[in-house]
Structure 1
């Protein structure tokens, strides 16, 4: 059973939309358990039982609640554990930079699932990377703390970390020429909790065809 100290995440056996939840749980110092959905029967049962408000994953059980919708989940954790900024001005800046970083990472989440994979990768290389790398490199260059907002780690930092890790995994060398992004990725990856998660068994590998097919079977598409 999920408790405040032991949230329970239900998602597929891969990164996808669940990874941002895993990363913020790790940053908050929360140990979590998982149910990995690999079969259509599992997803059908969750839907039939009324567990999934919008009939889709991820789902997080925490603090006696059943939460869905990725953005809502990570914002709840951010607010509860002080990862959403200290002042009203910081909070809105965290929100803005987090949304930008989510746009940065989004096309990576669909690698393997789109009909034209070459076109998706071309978009990442020619549109996404050129657009977002300079923005966050500039912000970090101007930062005195090494974080995106204020002096402390925030949700925006964690979403940017997810995007940079995806860059490294799917487009090797894509952070060359961006020293602040490289420094940021290395430093945030080494923070307690985050380092343990990234090096542990709950960190999922990049999307494989096996994982994609598994998800599609669970969705009933194949």
Structure 2
């Protein structure tokens, strides 16, 4: 049996960065897929610590909150920087990814038709900090922090990929981010995962918008 179980809806959503990390690290996991009808019944929701998914299981350990899962796996697989200073910058970068993801989620689920044009127009301002972080780290020749991939890289890659779907060409004015996405996506295990039928069959969001 795979060591991990991801309990989540049949979408990429907040679990895709976790899946990317596991796949890239050569790990296997089980998907416990929760349909909207099952979730609406309320029985599973009542058992969830915060009344929400995803739920991540590693043996006796049960975690909620996707960023907590990423950090846990980051520590477990040595993907949390080489020292406390790098770890702190990774936390900062990951918090920045979360800020952007929350804005994206608000657009997708609450303001898509009315807000998409303005969101796309403002997107360069939201992406610039990540270009800056890359430039500060070996001129963008490596990862978001340090010289080894981290949990935050998977999270940032996921957010960049979904924004490329939302707004094709959004990275055209960010050469370092463009090269970053291409480089990470070409890692053998990640490349195989990104091209897998399982991933292709999962929509990005739960309402069909992207």
Tell whether the structures are fold-level matches, with TM greater than 0.5.
yes
Alpha-carbon distance between aligned partners in 1 of 2:39 and 2:101, rounded to the nearest angstrom: 28
Q: 1:14 to 1:109 in 2, by over 3 A?
A: farther
Q: 1:147 to 1:41 in 2, by over 3 A?
A: closer
**Paired positions, count:** 203
Quick check: 36-45 or 73-82, which moved more? 36-45
| 1:47 and 2:41 matched | no
Deviations 1:101-153 (A, max 9, x none): 22223333455421x313442342233x2223222222223322421111100
Superposition RMSD in Å: 2.1
Deviations 1:63-117 (A, max 9, x none): 3212111121111111111111110100001110111122223333455421x31
Question: 2:72 maps to what in 1?
Answer: 76
Structure 2 length normalisation: TM-score?
0.86
Query: Could you list the runs of 5+ residues in structure 1 that have no partner in the other structure?
Result: 214-222
Which of 109, 126, 130 pairs up with 1:132? Answer: 126
Question: 1:63 maps to what in 2?
Answer: 59
Alpha-carbon distance between aligned partners in 2 of 1:193 and 1:110, rounded to the nearest angstrom: 31
Query: Could you list the runs of 5+ residues in structure 2 that have no partner in the other structure?
Result: none
- Aligned to 1:164, the other structure's residue is in SS state helix
1:173-192 equivalences under 5 Å are: 173-192=169-188
Q: 1:158 to 1:123 in 2, by over 3 A?
A: farther
Quick check: 153-162 or 89-98, which moved more? 153-162
Point out 4+ residue stretches in structure 1 off by more than 3 angstroms. Answer: 109-112
Question: 1:149 maps to what in 2?
Answer: 145
- Aligned to 1:17, the other structure's residue is in SS state helix
Question: 1:28 maps to what in 2?
Answer: 25
Deviation of 1:197 (Å)? 1.6
Deviation of 1:40 (Å)? 2.7
Quick check: 14-23 or 91-100, which moved more? 14-23
Structure 1 length normalisation: TM-score?
0.82
| Richer in helix (by share) | 2
Deviation of 1:179 (Å)? 1.2
- Aligned to 2:32, the other structure's residue is in SS state strand
